[in-house]
Amino acid sequence: MARVTKWFIREEIMNKIVKRTLMASTCVFIAGSAVAESEVEVLHWWTSGGEAAALNVLKEDLSGQGVGWTDMPVAGGGGSDAMTVLRARVTAGDPPTAVQMLGFAIQDWAGEGALADLNKLAEDQNWDEVVPAALQGFSKHDGNWVAAPVNVHSTNWVWANTAIMAELGLEQPADWDGFVAAMQTAQDAGYVGLAHGGQAWQDATIFDSIAMGVGGPKFYQAAFIDLDPDALGGDQMIEAFKRMETLRGFVDDNFSGRDWNLASAMVANEEALFQIMGDWAKGEFINAGQTAGEEFQCFRVPGSEGTVTFNSDQFAMFSVTDTTAQDAQMTMASSVMSPEFQVAFNTVKGSVPARTDISDAEFDACGQLGMAQLAEAAANGGLFGSMAHGHANNPSVQNAMYDVITAHFNGEYDAETAASEMVTAVELAQ
Ligand code: BGC
């Protein structure tokens, strides 16, 4: 019954989001179409300060080429809400021209025949040679390019406030026990140990790296990619849930429902010691005028060193018949893939380039570390698509995992029950 109620509430909320977003989009569209002949309508979930600053780099790039922009933002990391709105638009026969998309969602839409073919542009610009193989698996469907990757984010980062660390005499922790001890010290001193927002996708983002930290690549592969019931319900999964319980003890009382960028602000404002979050959090610190290695620091979630759980934001273009719109789509895809744009955008967004031929010279300390670790993980079999961000499995399995992880984090299950619920939920979702 609890589950039915939860789904019902989620559906109600989504209906409101869809209605509100469709109305807003229609208004902007009418206003926008009067000024720009060539334009793209872009559905995305980049609504925080840092994300908006990065999006602006793209808007301005396109504006410089005479391509107008109609904005269709749908907040919510991981993109689940954006994908619900997208489905409604497509069902209504009115798809946006370009859509921010992750991993398996790209493959699903391409499988439905909804996406434009980018092969000609990809061939002209040699995308086969410069896009890392791990990303091509998502950007191409049946051998055809269907999406342009704008970045690579990774989810197994800790963001730390340098001033609190210095005040409490803390070093970057070497292992899980050191990590827990640091949060305890901060909590005892009146700080929040772990800044967190209680939303299903954020709980899952933390769980991503905790699970990797407990079980390493073999376990991550077996549980989240191969969906092996022994791994899903086994001892390592139970231990991962136990670590989530430990983390739960270090979040503040107001964590429920908090947006991720507000949790980042707690670290930036010296209220909280750590945040576990993808490197879009760095975009927030930068947007607040802070510098990597100075006011804030980054290190990998203890236990997950040597691995990278990644996601890549890509722009998929929906098939349209109007040739002006098609030209605008190709201009956008071309911009997104240009080396200059990849530097300009990713230094603001917090991510690293989706091309292997870009120097790290313009990137800050965390960006350079991220680029080096990405290459290292790719070479050593330590690079894995993020479960929480749609790169390990299809959206229905992803959402089934979200439900169990978040129910456990909110005290509905103990660690053993949560692990066995993972097995059942994943089985039902397949
Ligand atoms: C996206 C990021 C975004 C984050 C939070 C992730 O799924 O890949 O680009 O910044 O969600 O909104």
Q: What is the CATH number of the domain that holds 265?
A: 3.40.190.10
CA–CA separation, 31 vs 36, rounded Å? 10
Rounded to the nearest whole angstrom, what is the distance from the C-alpha of residue 185 to the centroid of ligand 1? 31
Structural domain range at position 219: 154-310+383-429
Q: Which atom of ligand 1 is nearest to the CA of 51?
A: 10
Closest residue (by CA) to atom 10 of ligand 1? 280
Rounded to the nearest whole angstrom, what is the distance from the C-alpha of residue 313 to the centroid of ligand 1? 8
Residues 39 and 81 in one domain: yes
Q: Which atom of ligand 1 is nearest to the CA of 47?
A: 12
pLDDT of amino acid 38 = 94
Q: Spell 352-366 as b/e; 16+ CB within 10 A means b.
A: bbbbeebebeebbeb
Residues 279 and 222 in one domain: yes
Indicate whether 3 pLDDT > 60.
no
What tens digit of pLDDT does each residue of 311-333 get?
Answer: 999 999 999 999 999 999 999 99
Closest residue (by CA) to atom 12 of ligand 1? 77
Q: Tokens for 218?
A: 């073999």
Rounded to the nearest whole angstrom, what is the distance from the C-alpha of residue 134 to the centroid of ligand 1? 18
Residue 15 binned pLDDT confidence (cut-offs 50, 70, 90): low
Residues 225 and 179 in one domain: yes
Rounded to the nearest whole angstrom, what is the distance from the C-alpha of residue 235 to the centroid of ligand 1? 30
Residue 10 binned pLDDT confidence (cut-offs 50, 70, 90): very low
Closest residue (by CA) to atom 4 of ligand 1? 77
Residues 263 and 339 in one domain: no
Indicate whether 11 pLDDT > 50.
no
Residues 95 and 207 in one domain: no
Q: Which atom of ligand 1 is nearest to the CA of 75?
A: 12
Indicate whether 33 pLDDT > 50.
no
Which residue among 101, 313, 399 is best mutated to probe the pocket of ligand 1, counting the most ligand atoms within 8 A of its Cβ? 313
Residues 48 and 176 in one domain: no
Closest residue (by CA) to atom 8 of ligand 1? 313
Residues 205 and 236 in one domain: yes
CA–CA separation, 286 vs 350, rounded Å? 8
CA–CA separation, 21 vs 55, rounded Å? 18
Q: Which residues pair with 42 in a beta bridge?
A: 71, 98
Which residue among 42, 45, 310 is best mutated to probe the pocket of ligand 1, counting the most ligand atoms within 8 A of its Cβ? 45
Closest residue (by CA) to atom 11 of ligand 1? 77
Residue 24 binned pLDDT confidence (cut-offs 50, 70, 90): very low
DSSP sequence for 31-93? HHHHH-SSEEEEEE---SHHHHHHHHHHHHHHHHTT-EEEEEE---GGGHHHHHHHHHHHHTT
Closest residue (by CA) to atom 5 of ligand 1? 77
Residues 164 and 119 in one domain: no
Strand order in the sheet with 153-154: 153-154, 308-311, 383-385
pLDDT of amino acid 78 = 87
Indicate whether 25 pLDDT > 60.
no
Q: Which atom of ligand 1 is nearest to the CA of 102?
A: 8
Average pLDDT over residues 243-264: 98
What tens digit of pLDDT does each residue of 201-231 get?
Answer: 999 999 999 999 999 999 999 999 999 999 9
Q: Which atom of ligand 1 is nearest to the CA of 313?
A: 8
Residues 120 and 166 in one domain: no
CA–CA separation, 390 vs 395, rounded Å? 6
Compare 384 and 32 and report the one with higher pLDDT: 384
CA–CA separation, 201 vs 388, rounded Å? 6
What tens digit of pLDDT does each residue of 90-128 get?
Answer: 999 999 999 999 999 999 999 999 999 999 999 999 999
Q: Which residues pair with 275 in a beta bridge?
A: 159
Q: Which atom of ligand 1 is nearest to the CA of 50?
A: 10
Rounded to the nearest whole angstrom, what is the distance from the C-alpha of residue 100 to the centroid of ligand 1? 10
Q: How many CB atoms lie within 10 A of CB 201?
A: 22
Q: Who lines ligand 1 at CB under 6 A?
A: 45, 51, 77-79, 102, 153, 280, 311, 313, 389
pLDDT of amino acid 29 = 41
Tokens 């086969």 found at: 128
pLDDT of amino acid 404 = 98
| Number of domains, the chain | 2
pLDDT of amino acid 128 = 98
Closest residue (by CA) to atom 7 of ligand 1? 78
What tens digit of pLDDT does each residue of 344-379 get?
Answer: 999 999 999 999 999 999 999 999 999 999 999 999
Q: Which atom of ligand 1 is nearest to the CA of 151?
A: 9
pLDDT of amino acid 19 = 53
Residues 40 and 79 in one domain: yes
Compare 60 and 7 and report the one with higher pLDDT: 60
Q: Which atom of ligand 1 is nearest to the CA of 390?
A: 7
Residue 16 binned pLDDT confidence (cut-offs 50, 70, 90): low
Rounded to the nearest whole angstrom, what is the distance from the C-alpha of residue 65 to the centroid of ligand 1? 26
Residues 145 and 198 in one domain: no
Residues 7 and 130 in one domain: yes
Rounded to the nearest whole angstrom, what is the distance from the C-alpha of residue 280 to the centroid of ligand 1? 6
Output the average pLDDT for the chain: 93
